[in-house]
Structure 1
Amino acid sequence: MARSTASSAISELIDEGIIETVDEHVPTARKSAGRPGELVALKARHSFLVGIDFGRLSLKVAISDLNYRLIDEIDCAFDSDTAAEAALSLAAQHVETLIARNGIDRRLIEAVGIGVPGPVEAATGMLHPGSILASWVGADVPARLSERLGLPVYMDNDANLGALAESRLGGGVGSSVMLYVLLSVGVGLGIVIEGQIFRGAYGMAGQLAHVVTDENGPLCHCGSRGCLEAQISVNALNRSLEPTHRDIAPIEMLRLAAEGSPGPARVVADAGAMAGRALGALCNYFNPDLILVGGELTRAGPVLLNAVKDAMRRTAIARALEHVDIRPGALGDRAELFGTLLFAHERARRALHARNATEMPADADPIEGAS
């Protein structure tokens, strides 16, 4: 459209309080004559999003504007053995707290996003058997929380959400093929191809956790033996340290590993090597340009990442690794939380477009009738 038309439309939206100018300047890579342009964004308090991350060690609940700027959040401990109803009650309570203490009009909340540590079926939006949250399988979590809050709720796997956030807001911006590896109480993988999450035909893509590396290995909660998650999760590493570090907390184990303490550093490095071998194979399959590593195990720092890189070099063909950048995620332990907000916004907009298409008169022009 003509620049004058765009300027007129933007001026109207500013006057109506829907958008606002922001303080950053447009990059100067593509210079044009005339007055420098300004960046505009949706006004901070025009609409809101709620994100709920049922993490592997904590529960995070946040409310943001449509630009994903956090307005307020709550972070508390969470036990993955908690039953679905109790967990949803706690999450709903925190959401109500955030709404009340920030004076937010519930009618301006577009949607709620949920992240869970387990595969989510694309067709139903429900947890698939094999999740860490075993007691939640079969429960329609989005519907139950939607009833409690009176808001639309959408749910996805936490690794997919972490990958989404890193690709749009974090270290993966501009990447062509990115792998986001989540190493925590569980193991997760999010695959981003040309800016889109790859979920497979039924939402089961990225199940790195259940790649079997030892058929005689420890029993996994999915029912198989020797799954990656059963061997390199934070809990599995803790158990392997019991002979020398009985009852050590996960955070303390990772701190000692980062400092080079022999026992903790060895089990973390072994875990990194095992993850690296799996990632090396994935490089042969997907030929990524970027691998971001997130989750609690990254607190061990170079002890983990160096082991991952060394194992990848031994298992992937050289050309597949030639241009791969491997580093920690830029969003840290908030990646999955930001992912819930992005996911909620995407699904809310998709639902709005679907309603508009349904309500459009049959003889309406498809362009003029769209909104």
Structure 2
Amino acid sequence: MTSPKLRLRARVLDALQQFGPRSRADLARELGISRATAAAAVKDLLAAQLVEDGMDADAQPVRIGRPGSPVRIRTEAAYLIGIDFGRLTLRIGIFDLAYQAIREEAWAFDIDAPAEAALDRAAEHVEAMITAAGIARDKIRAVGVGVPGPVDAATGMLHAGSILASWVGTDVPGGLARRLDLPVYMDNDANLGALAEMTFGGAKTAKVALYVLLSVGVGLGIVINGRVFRGASGIAGELGHVVTDERGAICRCGSRGCLEAQVSVNALRNALQVSLGQITTDDMLRLAAEGHIGAGRVVADAGAMVGRAVGDLCNYFNPDVVLVGGELMRAGSVLLNPLRDAMQRFSIARATEHVRIAPGALGERAELLGTLLFASEKARQNPSRPTARPAQTENPSCERTI
């Protein structure tokens, strides 16, 4: 059980990370606590070297320790690690508490790789990056992990139906925690991309935002009033498994005619190989963006199919912004224009007349940045720095932003 003192320290760090430097009086007011309580928490954090007396709003020096002086997080006092098992790429980064990259690298990733081998590989990369960065392990606050599949909100493990089919039943966060001796927290990659776009990117001012992730699979992150909506058990947003053709191809989930089976980059590449022969995903998307007729046609058709499904979502959620991310977005307007047209065609006018639809502002780094935000939040909820798989949130349907 976390002590009240640790919970209070976590709340103060939360406020400083979200709002920037604050005086003790400001912290007391924003957290609804007494000035004496706020000052005591700040004193503890100063002693732990997690915060420092900072500068005033005009960057003029202030007298250290003066009650009205602002306090700020020492960004070098602790670090976060993000691991994104992307649909085509494995991305890993070490970041400070201001979310500035200390080291960041990416490698090709095979989603059919066995879970244990993939965890071994990720752990080896993390260890090498920690060594290269010269960071003390006890300063690493938490590790966030993104995976392309639904994550059970109660257990933190993958649901059946994931793209990572062979990983279902594997304790991914627990396995990485044991390998790294660090607290590890995992979530679905589309949820993490939505969290990052809500915090840093194109959905910062949105009341309701949809983040559509198009790659080897199709993901969806839903943001409602500053929270990522996950549903009762963590599988909200499985847009890729909406059935669009009951006689269509068999999907990885076992159903037939899922959207994902028709518009994933692999499905589009396979369709294009009839006329172009063997072709890589990168080449297909490059040709589409350059105006190649065949490549442009398969990508545009995919955009229209996704747009029809997103149009239905607009009727349900009435978003003010729809952001599109993932590797398929490399095709640019060839994908986005048909998606927008179909979205507007297959929804009621009032549901889409004020919707802004755009590429994700954070590009293909969104999911990695989301892992950091998620890990940071979980670490604040579990400040005792466990090394076994940490407990999940008490409210699995929503996640508070930083």
Query: Could you say whether these structures have the same fold, taking a TM-score greater than 0.5 normalized by the shorter chain as the test?
Result: yes
* Paired residues for 1:1-371 under 5 Å: 5-6=25-26, 18-19=51-52, 21=54, 41-352=72-383
Once the 2 structures are TM-superposed, how far is the Cα of residue 40 of structure 1 from its aligned partner? 6.4
Which letter does structure 1 place at the counterpart of 2:363? G
Partner of 1:33: none
Secondary structure (helix, strand or coil) at the match of 1:165 reads: helix
Structure 2: stretches of 5+ with no match in the other structure:
1-21, 28-34, 60-67, 387-402
Report the residue type matching 2:51 in the other structure: I
1:164-211 CA deviation, whole Å, 9 max, x = no partner?
A: 000001111111000000001110000000111100000010000100
| Corresponding position of 2:14 | none
- Contact 1:24-1:38 at 8 Å conserved across structures: no
Alignment match, 1:34:
none
Larger RCO: 1 or 2 (CA < 8 Å, sep 6+): 2
Q: 1:318 to 1:93 in 2, by over 3 A?
A: same
Deviation at 1:99, TM superposition (A): 0.8
Contact 1:20–1:43 (CA under 8 A) maintained in structure 2: no
Listed one character per residue, the Cα deviations across residues 75-122 of structure 1 (whole Å, up to 9, x for unaligned) are: 111100110111001100111111111111101111111000011111
Distance 2:264 2:144 in 1: 25
Q: Distance in 2 between matches of 1:225 and 1:219?
A: 4
Give the distance between the partners of 1:197 and 1:40, measured in 2 at CA.
29
Q: Is the 8 A contact 1:74 1:94 kept in 2?
A: no
Number of equivalences: 344
SS at the partner of 1:107? helix
| Alpha-carbon distance in 1 for matches of 2:200, 2:111 | 28
Letter in 1 for 2:85: F
Residue 121 of structure 1: SS of its match in structure 2?
coil
CA displacement at 1:20 relative to structure 2: 6.6
Contact persistence 2:24–2:71 (CA under 8 A): no
User: How far apart, in 1, do the equivalents of 2:112 and 2:56 lie?
Assistant: 45
| One-letter code aligned to 2:330 | R
RMSD: 2.5
CA shift, 1:6, in A, is 4.6
Residues 103 and 228 of structure 1: CA distance in aligned 2, closer, same or farther (over 3 Å):
same
Equivalent position of 1:364 in the other structure = none
The alignment partner of 1:241 has SS state of helix
Tell me how far 1:230 sits from its aligned partner. 0.2
Alpha-carbon shift at residue 246 of structure 1 (Å): 1.2
Contact 1:25 1:38 in 2 (8 A): no
Cα offset, 1:245, TM superposition: 1.3
2:70 and 2:242 mapped to 1: Cα distance? 45
Equivalent in the alignment of 2:392: none
Q: For 1:107 and 1:273, locate their aligned partners in 2 and report how far apart those are by CA, in whole Å.
A: 49
SS of residue matched to 1:188 = strand
Pairwise CA distance, 1:133: 0.8
State percent identity of aligned pairs: 61
> How far apart, in 2, do the equivalents of 1:40 and 1:297 lie?
43
Distance in 1 (CA, whole Å) between partners of 2:58 and 2:287 is 44
The one-letter amino acid paired with 1:321 is: T
Q: Is the 8 A contact 2:54 2:69 kept in 1?
A: yes
Counterpart of 1:32 in structure 2 is none
Over 3 Å counting, the alpha-carbon distance change for 1:5 and 1:197 in structure 2 is: closer
State TM-score, norm by structure 1: 0.87
TM-score, length of structure 2 as denominator length: 0.81
In the alignment, which residue of structure 2 is the partner of 1:361? none
Following TM superposition, by how much is the alpha carbon of 1:134 offset from its aligned partner in structure 2, in angstroms? 1.0
Structure 1 CA distance for aligned equivalents of residues 300 and 54 of structure 2: 48
5+ unaligned residues in a row in structure 1: which ranges?
27-36, 356-371
Separation (CA, whole Å) in 2 of partners of 1:244 and 1:171: 37
State the secondary structure of the residue aligned to 1:352: coil
Counterpart Cα distance in 1 of 2:162 and 2:215? 14
2:397 aligns to what? Answer: none
